[in-house]
Every structure is written in structure tokens, then in C-alpha cells.
Amino acid sequence: MAKEKILVIGASGQIGVELTMALREIYGNSNVIASDLREQNELLRGTGPYVSLDVMNKEMLHVQVIRQGITQIYLLAAILSATGEKNPNLAWNLNMQGLLNVLDIAREEKLQKVYWPSSIAVFGPTSPKTNCPQHTIIEPTTVYGISKFAGEFWCNYYYNRFGVDVRSLRYPGLISYKSAPGGGTTDYSIEMFMQAKEEKQYQCFLQEDTYLPMMYMPDAIRATIELMETPSHNLSIRTSYNIHAMSFSPADLADEIKSHIPDFKISYQPDYRQAIANSWPQSINDSVARSDWGWKEQYSLKRMTNEMINQ
């Protein structure tokens, strides 16, 4: 394997912590540099290099890329759907400018690869609700969705125009226990697990029958690494790949949790996040990811719940 030096931006976040740990296993601790605006996550402490970095500060980012001899960047810093609706300007600026800074530096420094996550939030109310295809009507109604959709086309543009090998996945809601999520609509699922264990009750901010596409973090990390390891000529999508694992509603998840914690009680008090969830598909067609690079999920609702409860 060629010597890689990887920079993970947003390494203290929900995906960043687990992705950094997985990359360190593959490439060696000292070859994966974690960075974030926030403090280093406890789980990363002592496992490899860390730098404090603001993705909005292009000059500082550029200096780090040169100084550390970076060959790949994983850009995970973003403002998610629910927080984005509270501060649309901030969400647009961070989600867009952060990506453009990374793409520009990747072009100038001829980086080998860049990873940037998109989301099922690119889809909107006019997209098909079930089995939503890779290529379809895409009219997002959240600022987060708009920024991800625009970002996908910036990635496509930098690949076609400048040859930047940038790759992307449209993550569904991600469920994990190692590092807390922040500001997403699908975060109800993680809150439900935590409250079920701690309080044996949870008031959900979505209606009981709100079906959304979801994925357990180990599947998402594996998907990311598999996509990044696929030879470039096998990839037919340079915007972002649909990937799917499971689809469930808050009521389905509560039933599954009750099979482990029988006295768990759930109630429902939908808030502004219901409208965001209603605008998204309930399930995703990921046949292109399956045929291009062999994507296949390993976790069902049952298996994921079992692991979440036991951690």
C-alpha cells in the first residue's frame, strides 16, 4: 500500500471518532491526523496525532496539509438538519465554504483522495417516498439538504474539471454509542436508546409512524472505507452514492427496545423536526452502490438494537 497521510477534519464528532479509529487501524496511528475545532474526543486521546483546526480558515488548513504531507482528507465537519434550520446562514457557510476550501487545497496540492459525506437530506417532498432511486427528483427543503445537494455537484465539478478524486456517500440516520450526535433529525433513535437505559422512558420528538432510512455506525464506517478503497474506474457516481441498511419508525424501535427492557415507556410530542422528517424518503434504493463497489449492510434493526443495548 502506498504511504498515506490522512487528515480527518471533524474528528471529534459522531462519525469522526469512529472513522479516525478505523483509519488508524488500517494506516497506522501516526499516519492519521485527527483535527477539530472542539477539544479532542476522550476516545482518541493517546491514540495518535491531533491538531486544532478550523476548516473555515483556508490558509491554516493549507499550511497543515503541506506541513504534515497530507495525501487524503476526510471532511466530516458539518451542521446537521435540525441545527441548520435554527441558523441557516451558519449552516450554509460552514457546509459549503468548508468543502470548497478542502476541494481547492486538494486540487492545488494534488491530493490522492478526498472523502465528504452527503445525506439522504438531499431528497425532498417531491422525491419518491419509498425505495428512493439514485437518480430522481431532488428538491430539498432544509438548508442542510440544500448545502449537501450543492456540495455533491461541487464534488462532481472538481472531479470532472480538475481531476480531484473526491468520493461521497448519502448517509442515512446514523446510530452509534461511542460519540454523541449533534443536531440531526434522526438523532431521536440514539436519544431513545440512552433514555431507555437511564430512565426507562422517552418522549420522542417525531410521530410514532415516521419511517426513515437508518444505519448502524459500523456499517457506515465500513461503507466509507470500502468506497475509498475502490479503484477509481469502478465508480460511476461522482456526486454521492445512495446507501441503505434499514428503515424503521420510532414505534418499531421502541418495540425492539421493549424486547430487552420490558418496562420501557414511550410517548410522542412531535416538534419542528417532524416537518424535516416528513420531507425525506422512508427508504432508499442503493443498487448502484451495490453493483459499483459491492456495498452490503450487515446490521438489521434487531442486530443493531441488541448491540446498542449491550454496550
Rule CB under 6 A: say whether 121 interacts with ligand AKB.
yes
Please identify, among the stretches 36-44, 106-114, 150-158, 170-178, the one whose residues bind ligand AKB according to the rule CB under 6 A.
170-178
d(CA 215, CA 238): 22
* The binder of ligand AKB chosen from 81, 179, 195, 210 (CB under 6 A): 81
Residue nearest to ligand AKB (CB): 184
- Nearest residue (CB) to ligand AKB, 12 versus 31: 12
Q: How far is the CB of 155 from ligand AKB (least distance, A)?
A: 16
Question: Taking CB under 6 A as the rule, does residue 185 contact ligand AKB?
Answer: yes
Name which of 60 and 150 has its Cβ closer to ligand AKB: 150
Count Cβ atoms below 10 Å from residue 2 Cβ, excluding itself. 5
Choosing from 144, 171, 202, 299, the catalytic residue is 144
Question: 21, 79, 103, 120: which one contacts ligand AKB (CB under 6 A)?
Answer: 120
- Using rule CB under 6 A, residue 285 touches ligand AKB: no
Q: Compute the least distance from the CB of residue 1 to ligand AKB, in Å.
A: 31
Contacts of 135 (CB under 8 A, 6+ apart): none
Distance CA 289, CA 285 (A): 9
Nearer to ligand AKB, 32 or 253 (CB): 253
Query: Following DSSP, what letter does each residue of 140-177 receive, concatenated?
Result: --SHHHHHHHHHHHHHHHHHHHH---EE-EEE-EEE-S
Q: Exactly one of 173, 189, 211, 228 binds ligand AKB (CB under 6 A); which one?
A: 173
Taking CB under 6 A as the rule, does residue 116 contact ligand AKB?
no
Shortest CB 213 distance to ligand AKB, Å: 8
Residue closer to ligand AKB by CB (options 27, 116) is 116
**Number of residues in contact with ligand AKB under rule CB under 6 A:** 12
Q: Minimum distance between the CB of residue 212 and ligand AKB, rounded to whole angstroms? A: 8
Nearest CA to 170 among 149, 155, 186? Answer: 149
Told to judge if 50 belongs to the known catalytic residues of this protein, a careful annotator would answer no
User: What residue type is 33 in one-letter code?
Assistant: I
Decide: is 80 part of the binding site for ligand AKB (CB under 6 A). yes
Neighbours of 74 (CB within 10 A): 24
Closest CB to ligand AKB among 9 and 174? Answer: 174
Q: Residue 171 interacts with ligand AKB (CB under 6 A)?
A: yes
Minimum distance, C-beta of residue 292 to ligand AKB, in the bound complex (Å): 22
**Nearest distance from C-beta of residue 140 to ligand AKB, angstroms:** 11
Binding site for ligand AKB (CB under 6 A): 80-81, 119-121, 144, 171, 173-174, 184-186
Residues catalogued as catalytic: 144
